[in-house]
Amino acid sequence: MKALIVDKADDGVTATIEKIDEARLPEGDGERMVTVRVTYSTVNYKDGLCLTGGGGLVRTYPHVPGIDFAGIVEASDDPRYAPGDKVVLTGWRVGEAWWGGYAEKARVKGDWLVPLPDGLTDRQAMAVGTAGFTAMLAVMALEAHKVLPGGRPVLVTGAAGGVGSVATAILAKLGYEVAAVTGRPETADYLKRLGAASIVEREALASAPARPLGKETYAGAVDAVGGAMCAHILTLLEYRGSLAAVGLAGGAALEGASVIPFLLRGVNLLGIDSVMQPRENRLVAWERVATDLPLDLLETMIDEVPLEAVPQLGRDILAGKVRGRAVVDLSL
Ligand code: NDP
């Protein structure tokens, strides 16, 4: 089978497409294993790290990255899955600590899979992928904290990226007024088509806040950028507003943050983790994706590529150059 293998080299890691024997797929340890013929995978920010050896995510080489995939069950020791079933995988450190979706086949624990959600094709499910699934979790977290349509605008940072694009489209469809933050002004038309009501230039929020509290401007935020921007947005949330912290594309340290917004405005900082989400939550979030994300807009986010394009896309996504969702078609 064809697989993208990353391996250790003197000056970092290599990423090459190879033909390998299927018998090399991980066996599992007496777990209920399922072998899947992968139809689609995607390129996420974390894949960029795994492909380039960044972040210490991959510990054992040689390795097949790809943190998500959709496909068709080929063989199963798990009674919940039979050959021919369509399935989706995100999270559980697959693609990091376990061989992932950048190969024609994958073998994973049945517990890690969910059935392909009703109303989505395998291609659409991967256009959503880890980034879009996480965007849905972030929107659900805001809803649970009473950030609802009809109020002040909701910010989406890293808006032209994967998480940001899907979050913008979902929030707009649900009736929120979305203020999309981007460092790429040329993506403004794209973001407006996804439903953004206004565009905020990244520079306006990129540096640490000048004051511990600013004007109450936003009801909430989906933040894929982190760093000083996250600290800055916390000072601009309305009383009891909430920020769903999803990512760190702009840095991990909350430079300039203080406890003042929490003490004087009762704001909430909500951590979003898609990796270890329990199965029940996954099923609910995927169902919501299928109903709350306009599929015609999803189509405008997709850049469909062969496996051969993945190593370069990994570098591009770390450099913040990828727009929307890069979907890998394993049949190309
Ligand atoms: P993308 O690269 O597709 O999107 C990130 C976006 O952030 C870019 O498109 C860019 O948007 C903006 N950006 C990039 N670099 C910088 C910078 N230095 N400063 C400010 N903004 C920047 O990645 P994803 O959407 O796939 O992932 C986004 C983040 O979310 C990553 O950190 C990822 O690891 C994390 N993540 C977390 C998950 C979880 O479970 N918590 C799951 C999935 C992703 P623009 O050009 O519009 O400004």
Q: Give the chain's domain count.
A: 2
- Of residues 116, 118, 110, 130, the one with CA closest to residue 72: 116
pTM of the model: 0.97
Do 135 and 112 belong together in one domain? no
Distances (CA, A) of 67 to 62, 100, 117, 291: 16, 6, 18, 24
CA dist 32 and 4 (Å) reads 25
Q: Which residues line ligand 1 (CB under 6 A)?
A: 44-46, 130-131, 134, 158-164, 182-184, 202, 224-225, 246-250, 272-275, 317, 320, 322
Place of tokens 């760190």: 248
Do 24 and 135 belong together in one domain? no
Q: What is the pLDDT of residue 11?
A: 86
Instruction: Looking at the CA of residue 163, tell me the nearest atom of ligand 1.
Output: 25
Do 92 and 211 belong together in one domain? no
CATH label of the domain that carries residue 54:
3.90.180.10
Tokens of 25: 């797929």
Q: Is residue 96 part of a domain?
A: yes
Instruction: Looking at the CA of residue 318, tell me the nearest atom of ligand 1.
Output: 2
**pLDDT tens by residue, 134-175:** 999 999 999 999 999 999 999 999 999 999 999 999 999 999
Q: Is residue 284 part of a domain?
A: no
Q: Is residue 103 part of a domain?
A: yes
Do 55 and 169 belong together in one domain? no
Instruction: Looking at the CA of residue 324, tell me the nearest atom of ligand 1.
Output: 3
CA dist 80 and 115 (Å) reads 10
**pLDDT tens by residue, 185-241:** 999 999 999 999 999 999 999 999 999 999 999 999 999 999 999 999 999 999 999
Tokens of 78: 């798990």
Amino acid letter, 226: G
Question: Span 107-119, mean pLDDT?
Answer: 95
Q: Which of 237, 255, 271 is the last residue of a domain?
A: 271
Q: What is the pLDDT of residue 28?
A: 87
How far does residue 222's CA lie from ligand 1's centre (Å)?
Answer: 11
Element (H, E) at 169: helix 162-174
Give the mutation target among 96, 190, 246 for probing the ligand 1 site: most ligand atoms within 8 A of CB: 246
Whether pLDDT at 29 is above 90: no
